[in-house]
Structure 1
Amino acid sequence: MDSARKRYDLEEVEIDLEESSDTSEYDNEEEPQTLWRANPSLDEEEDIHTSTLVEISDTKPLINVRDPRGINDCLKVTFEDVIAEPVSVRSGDRVWIWSHALFEVSRVWIYRIVTVLLAIPMSLISGLLFAILSCLHIWIVSPCIQCLYMGTRWLQALWSIVLGVVVRPLFTSAGKCCGGFSIHLAKE
């Protein structure tokens, strides 16, 4: 079945962008079949109910989009953000060009060296930390909170009664008393 699907996926689809209003150029006077619409593949039919999040694997890193939520926007630092010479004080042009080049090269290569040394251990530590925190939250914190809600259901009912019997009438009457006042501003 997979070989049939692969053959179907590799089929070429021609796209005819010419207008089909002129039928005289066809030999048998039949209108040609529309070539711009390809038949849906079996993969598309199976993936109708899946979202784009399902297509992205948890283990396959996104190479092109490494900060999709913009978490590290504050780290988009260029040479001009760090070093700037005013018009009144200037170094030589060659000094400026070489310092710019050394800044960029050292920033990129030192980052790459440090990430080679730290990325794998830090990702392992972060993965372990988030796994432990997730496990604690799912199996300890959430059940304890649910037990607390179940045990204090009577307290919630009592508090709503106190609010309905004491606090609501008090603020309703205060609002009606203050609602009778009106302020009129007049120019003299």
Structure 2
Amino acid sequence: MMKGEDSEEVEIDLGDSSDPEESENGEEPQTLWKAQPSLEEEENIHTSTLVEISDTKPLINARDPRGINDCLKVTFEDVIAEPVSVRSGDRVWIWSNALFEVSRVWIYRVVTVLLALPMSVLSGFIFAILSCFHIWMIRPCLQCVLIGTRWLWGLWNIVLGIFVDPFFRSAGKCCGGFSIHLAKE
């Protein structure tokens, strides 16, 4: 499968490409393994009316909208590559490709069934606790400190405006006259 190529379905012919009998008949070889692209699978998902109303429905189509896991876009050619000097048989290469893709997809699905729901509940619990702690404890304490030290902010702005700001403005004007010219010798 080529990256960035959009097609209706991806077919991998597991027959030997060197069989002259199949090509002479004019018949197409039998496809033993066929994978539907992810776009068609996503379009055919039947959801309940509760999910159609939900705010999470856009997540079905765009599961990594910020590209957090772009490093995991791995294909067979990214992992296994035979140089020109060493080659296995055509059938071995094709079957290896097919088994890699099928096992990668199905093992991922099985592991996510076993781990995704418990991890979602655990991470939801942790983020709920952290959010509650931040909303009801940290932020009110910070607001109390900011209200109590509002005069300090005003004093600090006055000190910066009287002593520090003029110094840096004059230093900027002094250094603004310098220019650098690069020339080849």
Report how far residue 141 of structure 1 moved.
1.6
Q: Under a length normalisation based on structure 1, what TM-score does the superposition of the two structures give?
A: 0.59
Q: Does 1:113 align with 2:110?
A: yes
Structure exhibiting the larger radius of gyration computed from Cα positions? 1
Greater Cα shift, 55-64 or 98-107: 55-64
Residue segments in structure 2 that go unaligned for 5+ positions in a row? 1-51
Q: Deviations over 1:19-61 (max 9, x none)?
A: xxxxxxxxxxxxxxxxxxxxxxxxxxxxxxxxxxxx8524668
Map of 1:27 onto structure 2: none
How many residues were matched structurally? 131
Map of 1:75 onto structure 2: 72
Q: Distance in 1 between matches of 2:128 and 2:153?
A: 34
Q: Deviations over 1:62-91 (max 9, x none)?
A: 433333333322211111111111222222
Q: Distance in 2 between matches of 1:184 and 1:96?
A: 60
SS at match of 1:131: helix
Structure number with higher relative contact order (C-alpha < 8 Å, ≥ 6 residues apart): 2
Q: Under a length normalisation based on structure 2, what TM-score does the superposition of the two structures give?
A: 0.60
Map of 1:92 onto structure 2: 89
Residue segments in structure 1 that go unaligned for 5+ positions in a row? 1-54
Q: Distance in 1 between matches of 2:71 and 2:64?
A: 12
Change (3 A) 1:60 1:114: same
CA RMSD of aligned residues (A): 2.7
